[in-house]
């Protein structure tokens, strides 16, 4: 088995880039939506055959075992070439949790099925009354013989309509003194009478989000991961890497590239006001990348990231939004038109970029929540 970490960064980047450029299907590059599994199945097979489905997992579980430095390179190349993340909730979220907190039996059963996408996962965290205040969740799971019985509702469950399983935070002790206590981490099959999925149409007309209703749905007790009532701490323990990933410069960089070619084609640079606003946005992206590099270096040195990493997400998502807003301005009277706008021989879908940027300041902890975190954990402001 190849020890990727022994390679130089440059060698490894070349290897990853070479594979993506040679093997990734052209029609799937820079997909504007999240694909259903059937759409990307042939790509997933290639990735699986190469053993590259789970770059961050240890090799003993079928991952690539990449260290933080190599992992960043892998994701940078993935985003650079516009390679879809695919249906990666299993690999990114539930897999690492099972690896860290699961039993031997759980690992042996679930992990290979995640890698092969025999099981396709969705994440059941948010609820109608538990968004930013996630610990307020109410979906109940009660022991009944060898099963848990689940009642309640999850929402904003990405791609639940194309998932076979859900990993969820559920309330197992409604009498715990603090709402963060009494929450457990549970795995459940979707294909059963007590589970009902409805898609939610978004502003962009996509249906990636779903509501999932549980009416006496059942899952075996052995599908509890980790200790009963300890789910909150477990879910939080895995956020460190996600927090730099969510603050990576790529989305904004790609949008800036799009803005530049679109604005150039449309002659928007003739306007000095537009030039200045473009320069502002471009410098916002460049200087963010400098800050991102500082955090990435920290990871590469093997340090744990502190709460201050939240600022990457705040800056880059708001910057991404401004860039897509500039695209609409540059479109002039076409600013409300759905579908690709022709510039030279390429089509730029201005509205789709705009819509894509909107939820970035909401998901992964809204930017307001990130500001709360920074003000208390980094600036030490009271109350």
Partner 1 sequence: MTQTDMLSSDQEDLRLLRESARTLFDRAGGSSRARKLRDAGGGWDPKMVRELAEAGVFGVTVPEANGGLGMGLAAGGVIAEEVGRVIAPEPVVATIGLSLGLLRRLCPDHPKMAQLISGETVLAVAWQERGPNGAPAETTCRYADGKLTGSKAWVVGAAGAHGFLVVAEGDDGPVLAMVEAAAEGLSVVKRTQADGSAMGELSFSGTPAEELARGARVSNALAEAISDATALAAAELVGLSERALEITLDYIKTREQFDKPIGSFQVIQHRAVDLHVMREVAQAGVREVLALMDRETDPKIRARLASRAKARAVTAAKKITRDAIQLHGAVGYTDEYEIGLYLNRALVLSAWLGDDAYHRRLWFEAREEEGAAQ
Rounded Cα distance between 325 and 35, Å, is 25
Is 41 among the catalytic positions? Answer: no
Is residue 12 within the footprint of partner 1 (CB under 8 A)?
Answer: no
Which of these segments, 25-33, 51-59, 358-366, 373-381, binds partner 1 (CB under 8 A)?
373-381
| Residue among 173, 287, 303, 334 that touches partner 1 (CB under 8 A) | 287
Rounded Cα distance between 176 and 360, Å, is 33
Token representation of residue 116: 């092969």
Nearer to partner 1, 218 or 322 (CB): 322
Is residue 371 within the footprint of partner 1 (CB under 8 A)?
Answer: yes
Instruction: Measure the CA angle with vertex 157, ends 154 and 160; round to 5°.
Output: 110
Q: Which residues contact 256 (CB under 8 A, 6 or more apart)?
A: 281, 282, 285, 323
Token representation of residue 362: 């909401």
Placement of tokens 């770059």 in the chain: 55
Which of these segments, 171-179, 192-200, 350-358, 364-372, binds partner 1 (CB under 8 A)?
364-372
Answer for the pair 295, 305: CB distance below 8 angstroms, yes or no: yes
Helices (H), the chain: 9-23, 37-50, 68-80, 89, 95-101, 104-116, 231-237, 239-245, 250-266, 272-300, 310-331, 350-357, 367-373
String marking each residue 298-317 x if it binds partner 1 according to CB under 8 A = ----------x--x--xx--
First vs last C-alpha separation in the chain? 52
Rounded Cα distance between 194 and 204, Å, is 30
Answer for the pair 94, 114: CB distance below 8 angstroms, yes or no: yes
Site for partner 1 in 130-149 (CB under 8 A): none
Nearer to partner 1, 116 or 261 (CB): 261
Could you give the 3-state DSSP secondary structure of residue 185?
A: strand
CA 4 to chain centre: 24
**Least Å from the CB of residue 311 to partner 1:** 4
Is residue 375 within the footprint of partner 1 (CB under 8 A)?
Answer: yes
**Least Å from the CB of residue 122 to partner 1:** 32
**Least Å from the CB of residue 287 to partner 1:** 3
Is residue 279 within the footprint of partner 1 (CB under 8 A)?
Answer: yes
Is residue 257 within the footprint of partner 1 (CB under 8 A)?
Answer: no
Is residue 383 within the footprint of partner 1 (CB under 8 A)?
Answer: yes
- Name the residue among 79, 58, 63 with its Cα closest to residue 16: 79
Is residue 66 within the footprint of partner 1 (CB under 8 A)?
Answer: no
**Least Å from the CB of residue 370 to partner 1:** 8
**Least Å from the CB of residue 350 to partner 1:** 22
Is residue 369 within the footprint of partner 1 (CB under 8 A)?
Answer: no
Residues binding partner 1 (CB under 8 A):
275-276, 278-280, 282-284, 286-288, 290-291, 293-294, 308, 311, 314-315, 368, 371-372, 374-376, 378-383
Residues labelled as active-site residues: 242
């Amino acid at each position: 088995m190849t020890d990727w970490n022994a390679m130089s960064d440059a060698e490894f980047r070349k290897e990853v880039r070479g594979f993506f450029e040679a093997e990734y299907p052209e029609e799937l590059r820079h997909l504007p939506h999240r694909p259903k599994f059937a759409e990307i199945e042939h790509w997933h097979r290639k990735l699986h055959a190469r053993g590259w489905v789970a770059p961050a997992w240890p090799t003993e579980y079928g991952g690539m075992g990449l260290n933080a430095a190599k992992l960043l390179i892998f994701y940078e190349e993935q985003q650079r070439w516009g390679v879809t993340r695919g249906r990666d909730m299993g690999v990114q979220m539930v897999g690492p949790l099972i690896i860290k907190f699961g039993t031997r039996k759980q690992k042996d059963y679930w992990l290979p099925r995640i890698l092969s996408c025999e099981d396709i996962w969705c994440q059941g965290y948010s609820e109608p009354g538990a968004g930013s205040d996630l610990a307020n969740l109410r979906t109940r799971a009660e022991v009944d013989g060898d099963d848990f019985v689940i009642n309640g509702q999850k929402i904003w469950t990405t791609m639940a309509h194309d998932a076979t399983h859900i990993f969820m935070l559920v309330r197992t002790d409604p009498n715990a003194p603090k709402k963060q206590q009494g929450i457990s981490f549970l795995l459940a099959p979707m294909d059963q009478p007590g589970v009902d999925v409805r898609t939610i149409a978004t502003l962009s007309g996509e249906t990636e989000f779903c509501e999932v209703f549980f009416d006496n749905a059942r899952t075996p007790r052995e599908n509890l991961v980790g200790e009963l009532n300890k789910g909150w701490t477990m879910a939080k323990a895995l956020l460190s890497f996600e927090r730099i990933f969510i603050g990576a410069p790529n989305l904004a960089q790609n949008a800036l590239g799009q803005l530049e070619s679109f604005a150039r084609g449309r002659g928007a640079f003739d306007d000095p006001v537009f030039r200045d606003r473009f320069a502002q946005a471009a410098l916002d992206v460049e200087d963010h990348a400098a800050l991102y590099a500082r955090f990435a270096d920290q990871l590469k040195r093997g340090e744990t990231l502190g709460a201050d990493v939240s600022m990457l997400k705040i800056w880059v998502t708001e910057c991404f939004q401004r860039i897509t807003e500039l695209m609409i301005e540059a479109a002039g009277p076409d600013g409300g038109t759905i579908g690709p706008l022709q510039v030279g021989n390429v089509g730029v879908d201005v509205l789709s970029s705009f819509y894509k940027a909107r939820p970035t300041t909401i998901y992964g902890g809204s930017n307001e929540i990130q500001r709360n975190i920074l003000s208390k954990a980094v600036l030490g402001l009271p109350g």
